[in-house]
Copies of this chain bind each other. A is one copy, B any other.
Amino acid sequence: MNEQLKTDAWKIIETQFCKTRVESSESLFSLGNGVMGQRANFEEKYTGESLPGNYIGGIYYPDKTRVGWWKNGYPEYFAKVVNSAFWIGVDLKIEGEEIDLAKNEIISYHRELDMQHSLLSRQVKIKLKCGKEIEINAVRFISLTNIELGVIKYTIKSLQGDIEVEISPYINADVRNADANYDKNFWEYVNSSRDSIQMRTKKSGFDVAWSQACFIDGVEWRDESEKETIRETSQFSLKQQEEKSLYKYVGICSSLNHPAETLIHQAMKVAKEAAQLGFHELLKQHSKAWEQKWYSCDIEIEGDDQSQQGIRYCIFMLLQTYTGIDTRLNIGPKGFTGEKYGGVTYWDTEAYCLQFYLSTSGQQVAKELLVYRYNQLDKAIENAENLGFKEGAALYPMVTINGEECHNEWEITFEEIHRNGAIAYAIYNYIRYTGDKAYLSPYGLDVLIGIARFWAQRVSFSQERHKYVILGVTGPNEYENNVNNNWYTNYIASWCLKYAAESVEFVKNSQPNEFQKLIIKRNFNPTQELEKWKAIYENIYLPYNEKLAIFMQQDAYMDKEQILVADLAVSERPINQKWSWDRILRSCFIKQADVLQGIYFFQEDFDTETIARNFHFYEPRTVHESSLSPSIHTILATKIGDMDKAYEMYLRSSRLDLDDYNREIDEGLHITSMAGSWLALTEGFGGMRIKNDIIGFTPTLPKAWSHILFKINYRDRIIKIKATHKEVVVSIEGEAVDISIYGKTYHVTDHITHLL
């Protein structure tokens, strides 16, 4: 638990200023509106340890690859989200003393992030060297209703004595990425005026303009702009107990949405129109939009304030990160809260995030995530070609922004190919949840064929086993590299081939014209290719241990020394910090769900005893050193009735960042794993699952909780599930629908109660 934070159902609150935790708090209190976001840096100068961070979705720089030993097939660059202009800047001098929390004497400090309205506010009282005291109240938000707008209200109050204030709101565009491979500047200057500046990313050539409109009642500004910093300054006096507020409206417009030559004009327009509406009206609109978002997806946990805050934080950050209004955007592992990992799209999107957006933001938003991959299919085919595949086989990148591979570790880039399976599974999952089979044509099937072709070429036939095998892969458990026959990979590969074949049949019959077009476009030979796919999925090798009656994570897993995590000294953990890589690799320890990830995806294929046997074998060997691990284990532990384990795993997942479990949130938050926490709650404790086109729930609560209430967006209606240890109440807003509770199907028109 993070001692610095107060527990609150709707807010993140810190009441002490701690220099060593400034960067962590910058991550924790981040703001975003789905298209841009920022770390919670202070407006005024801060000379302590800080990671300034302002990110605009879709604006990236192709940073030259840095690698020790080049391997054929590595990409030439790693596309990174660019750290952009620091637009919140407000320099402040009072009685000649510079305001800088690293140096001032702080009397009191209070910061809170209102998750209900995505509003950041901070109150600091400072005693100046001259003995006078002041208070600063800074409030800001990134508008959800005008997505190119940021707004700050910055109030200075004299608490004791009359004071002279010098204030300089500014935008500094001379910003570098902390994670640049070769310390290069990613930006070049284009143009500026008194209140606006336009910059362009090198190589990728994205233009962005920032414009500020600043107001303090009765105050005149003088221009102090320099080349890459626009700045206005003024002075005023405050009598004791008097206060004045700076209103700063910042327009941020990019060439993703406007012609480059109009950007400064556009940004000025955004800032000025905002100023006309005024702070309070803008905040009202913004707050209302956020309340609407929450209306369809809030989760209440009664009886556990920590968990309540934790799950709301996960939902909030995910909603801040992605809103589905632009198919060029996706969900970066750190969202808008840091630079680490660059790229924006990992298999996390399909395996973890898709379901969250389906159930909170609806079909259209989730569909954008699929279309993102569809739009990158040709790049995925190129990527596979680079690795020696042919005839339209598609391998989606491990890490990407624009569809091109960015990652450069051979054991991941070239071998962690199971990601292709998750992309196919996402199509299946989307259609299962929405019923939108029409998605298959023209979108889904095209992708499925590319992926199936990849697997069909990637398997090889073992004369020894008389089976198709998949050699040299890295499974979801990245603590094994270059293994043969990873069960998860083989299973999902085989499933992909089968699902692609079924989808071919469906589109052939339902949309014969579209199908003919696809045949021509992709030079597809249904008869021949489906025959090959069938031969493989009917004869794939799936490692199995007869004695233990469990699936084997990979060939030769049982050759390893079998030790349990419980037998590991605490001083040895986390092993990824304490052990050399080879030691990790040859140990039996598992980073994150691997066989269990497959069982989670394909639950219907396995009976509960099988799930339990595999869970009881693998979980005790799992160190959960990926933030994506505990959530899947919560879901399966709930399923097999091990509620203690489920709750233990859940706590580890849902407050990972709030409690800074791994002491690393200074680098940014684990955005995609937050979707895992949401899954753990809804699919785990809520037991949400779609079977035979009917949505069902089997709510099971941890002992500590008295009730949970969660809302989901399902096929254009809102389903509200309220579960206690004794009953489940289901109510809906929207058209009546069949809902299964513990296997009993109800036709719910308004609400029903199911007793346990």
Q: Which residues of A contact B (CB under 8 A)?
A: 65-69, 71-73, 386-388, 408-411, 414-415, 460-465, 469, 471-472, 481-484, 555-556, 558-562, 576-586
Contact = CB atoms under 8 A, between A and B. Distances in A.
B66 A460 contact: no
B482 A556 contact: no
Given A484-B559, A558-B464, A387 B72 contact: no
A562 B583 CA distance: 31
Contact of A67 (B68, B411, B482, B586): B68
Given A386-B580, A472-B585, A555-B555, 11 more contacts: A69-B408, A72-B576, A72-B578, A73-B581, A73-B582, A410-B582, A414-B580, A414-B581, A469-B559, A484-B556, A484-B559
A223 to B, nearest CB: 40
Contacts of A66: 66-68
Contact of A71 (B387, B414, B559, B581): B581
A128 to B, nearest CB: 44
Contacts of A581: 71-73, 410, 414
Contacts of A465: 559
Contacts of A461: 561
Nearest to A575: B72
A388 B556 contact: no
B460 A560 contact: yes
The DSSP consensus for interface residues of chain A is loop
A484 B463 CA distance: 20
A732 to B, nearest CB: 48
Contacts of A579: 72, 388
A69 B409 contact: yes
A464 B578 CA distance: 28
A482 B409 CA distance: 14
27 contacts: A65-B68, A66-B66, A66-B68, A67-B68, A68-B408, A68-B409, A69-B408, A69-B409, A71-B580, A72-B580, A72-B581, A72-B584, A73-B580, A73-B581, A387-B582, A387-B583, A388-B579, A388-B583, A410-B581, A411-B482, A460-B560, A464-B558, A472-B582, A481-B481, A482-B483, A482-B585, A555-B556
B482 A482 contact: yes
A409 B582 CA distance: 11
Contact of A482 (B471, B481, B561): B481
Contacts of A560: 460, 471
B72 A577 contact: yes
A71 B387 CA distance: 25
A559 B471 contact: yes
A387 B481 contact: no
- CB-based closest 5 A-B pairs: A73-B580, A414-B582, A472-B586, A67-B68, A71-B581
A463 B410 CA distance: 31
Q: Copy number in this complex?
A: 2
A73 B484 CA distance: 25
A574 B66 CA distance: 25
Nearest to A415: B582
Contacts of A65: 68
Contacts of A68: 65-68, 408-409
Nearest to A65: B68
A360 B481 CA distance: 44
Nearest to A461: B561
A484 B415 CA distance: 18
A460 B582 contact: no
Q: Which of A73, A559, A582 has the most CB of B within 10 A?
A: A582
Contacts of A582: 73, 387, 410, 414-415, 472
A416 B372 CA distance: 42
Nearest to A458: B586
A447 to B, nearest CB: 22
A560 B484 CA distance: 10
A181 to B, nearest CB: 9
A464 B576 CA distance: 27
Contacts of A71: 580-581
A582 B387 CA distance: 8
B409 A460 contact: no
A67 B559 CA distance: 31
Contact of A558 (B463, B583, B584, B586): B463
A620 B206 CA distance: 53
A581 to B, nearest CB: 4
B482 A559 contact: no
A586 B411 CA distance: 12
A437 B408 CA distance: 49
Contacts of A558: 462-464
B580 A387 contact: yes
Given A481-B482, A579-B388, A581-B414, A463 B562 contact: yes
A490 to B, nearest CB: 13
A608 B101 CA distance: 80
A95 to B, nearest CB: 46
A582 B72 CA distance: 9
Nearest to A482: B482
Given A464-B559, A559-B462, A580 B482 contact: no
Contacts of A408: 68-69
A742 B463 CA distance: 43
A77 to B, nearest CB: 12
Contacts of A556: 471, 484, 555-556
A713 B712 CA distance: 85
A235 to B, nearest CB: 46
A388 B65 CA distance: 31
A71 B409 CA distance: 11
A552 to B, nearest CB: 11
A613 B582 CA distance: 33
Nearest to A410: B581
Nearest to A471: B586
A489 to B, nearest CB: 13
Nearest to A78: B68
Nearest to A465: B559
Contacts of A72: 576-581, 584
A444 B655 CA distance: 56
Q: Which of A69, A386, A460 has the most CB of B within 10 A?
A: A69
A510 to B, nearest CB: 38
A88 to B, nearest CB: 33
A625 to B, nearest CB: 12
A713 to B, nearest CB: 38
A469 B463 CA distance: 25
A408 B409 CA distance: 13
A134 B540 CA distance: 76
A387 B586 CA distance: 13
A206 to B, nearest CB: 25
A643 to B, nearest CB: 33
Contacts of A483: 482
A78 to B, nearest CB: 9
A80 to B, nearest CB: 13
A38 to B, nearest CB: 27
